[in-house]
Structure 1
Amino acid sequence: MDRHGIRIPAATAPDRTAATAPATVPVGRAGAVWRAARPAERLCLATGAALVLSGLVHLLVFAVDGGPWDGPVSWRKPFTFGLSFGLTLTAVTWVTSYLRIGARSRTVLLVVFAVDCVVEVAGITLQAWRHVPSHLNTTTPFDTAVAMTLAVGGGVLVVVLTVFAAAAFRHRPAGPSGMPLALRSGFAILMVGLLSGAVMIARGVVLSRTGHQQAAYDSTAPLKPLHGVSLHAVLVLPALTWLLSRTAWSATAKRRVLRAAVGAYTVAVLGAGVWAALTW
């Protein structure tokens, strides 16, 4: 009580839940997500949006300029790589907020990942405007430097994403019901995508260095569907889980839908892998 006999409420203990809970913000409310994001997350989200925009701009360039869609030199590459890297960076920024990983470690990894995504898309885009292949191209010292930079960048991507995948399996991720399964399945399938990409580069380098340049470019075609499909499981499955958490369905129904989605995605990846094996 104070000196006037009025009871003063006891100070309440600080709520530690917000301080210890992972920095997760529901997607779908862009303004709320942006305001709640840390500076590093804002940088990554803005960079992801810029990369997607870059990809869409090059789709417009293709519509105006024309040219082949397939092959090592086409506007398809800056379009698909810009879109893919932008979506992947945005997805990784979001889904890693559910992982039990130190805030400082996550920030460093995200910034490295964002910079690497920009370098990869920039190199591919530069070579598209120069009308020369971006990967496996050792025609000139400059082209060799670009190709090597892209290869090293690919290695950095593998390391960063592997660290995040390990964190997903080491400690149970947070989030709505089903998110641990979605994240672990998404990262496991993502590893398949990274492995297929490494195989494409390795086989292409061998063929290129033995004087079979055109064969090096052609050798990547069978693995492209497997590579493309498996890369985005880490976005599709967690996004589905979040959407299910917003419905009034029973927990059993949500689990069944998610498990069916994981199964369907796995079958799609296996199908792409079988097709690659048969056509390679």
Structure 2
Amino acid sequence: MENPRVVDRLCHTTGLLLVLSGLVHLGVFAVDGGPWDGPVSWRKPITFGLSFGLTLIALTWVTSYLRTGPRLRSTLLLVLAADCVVEVGGITLQAWRRVPSHLNMETPFDTAVSMTLAVGGGVLVVLLTLFAVASFRHRPTGPTGMALAVRSGFAILLVALASGAAMIARGVVLTRTGHQEAAYHSTAPLKPLHGVSLHAVLVLPALARLLSRSPWDERTRRRIVATAVGCYAAAVAGAGVWAVLTY
């Protein structure tokens, strides 16, 4: 499948289905109840469905501004879409089984799911890093401020990837050394940093796109985007400080 339009539609549809999955589980949570926090809760299929769905939709749109070959972009997006489905599917499966999805080595099946999710996380790191590198190798296209928004969004997204990798690494170490319960709670300090930095690649380009439809001149629009980037970076830095202080 090499037609960029077909790939874009497929990725958008997949993203919408993942978002719908998150919303459906929000309804399940409203009916079934249970804790919101902790390794076993409906929070995980809700937040992961929404986050992965929105991220897939955002990246499908944002990468259209990158100066990459259409075949390479389509291939990376298809792998990304498949990986998002695997991640959300594994998390949702374990939520229905009432067992933790990540860092769970209690049974061979749980270990297989946990390792699949970990490998999927590694695939995400590779894919998104490739997109980030592409955004800095060649100036992205688009309206005034879009290049800054796209590059800043991907740079901040790398912070999300690093914090996610750190959570997995610390959890695996604690699990392997016999501290299973501590592993489940070890990710808490980095969750705000991970969550805040994850969606800059959607928020900042969306702002640049909205400003392109405003009556303001290019200089004003560029300043607004730069200010937004600064504010977002400050929020990420604040979450980073909190993570350091509570880690």
Q: Shift of the alpha carbon at 1:37?
A: 6.5
1:49-128 maps to which residues of 2 (within 5 A)?
49-128=16-95
Alignment size in residue pairs = 245
Q: Shift of the alpha carbon at 1:123?
A: 0.1
Contact 2:4 2:74 (C-alpha < 8 Å) held by counterparts: no
Q: Match for 1:251: what amino acid?
A: E
1:1-280 maps to which residues of 2 (within 5 A)?
38-280=5-247
Q: Shift of the alpha carbon at 1:274?
A: 0.2
* CA distance in 2: counterparts of 1:133 and 1:60, whole angstroms: 20
* CA distance in 2: counterparts of 1:252 and 1:163, whole angstroms: 31
Q: Give the TM-score normalised by the residue count of structure 2.
A: 0.98
- 1:213-236: per-residue Cα shift (whole Å, max 9, x none)? 111011100000000010100000
Structure 2 gap segments, 5+ residues each: none
Q: Give the TM-score normalised by the residue count of structure 1.
A: 0.87
Q: Shift of the alpha carbon at 1:256?
A: 1.6
Q: Shift of the alpha carbon at 1:176?
A: 0.5
* CA distance in 1: counterparts of 2:33 and 2:227, whole angstroms: 40
Q: Shift of the alpha carbon at 1:60?
A: 0.6
Q: Match for 2:236: what amino acid?
A: V
Q: Match for 1:138: what amino acid?
A: M
- 1:58-84: per-residue Cα shift (whole Å, max 9, x none)? 001000000000000000000000000
Secondary structure of 1:143's aligned partner: helix
Higher relative contact order (Cα pairs below 8 Å, separated by 6+ residues): 2
* CA distance in 2: counterparts of 1:81 and 1:62, whole angstroms: 14
* CA distance in 2: counterparts of 1:53 and 1:225, whole angstroms: 23
Q: Shift of the alpha carbon at 1:252?
A: 1.9
Q: Shift of the alpha carbon at 1:250?
A: 1.6
Secondary structure of 1:111's aligned partner: helix
Say which structure is richer in helix.
Answer: 2
Q: In terms of Rg, which structure is larger?
A: 1
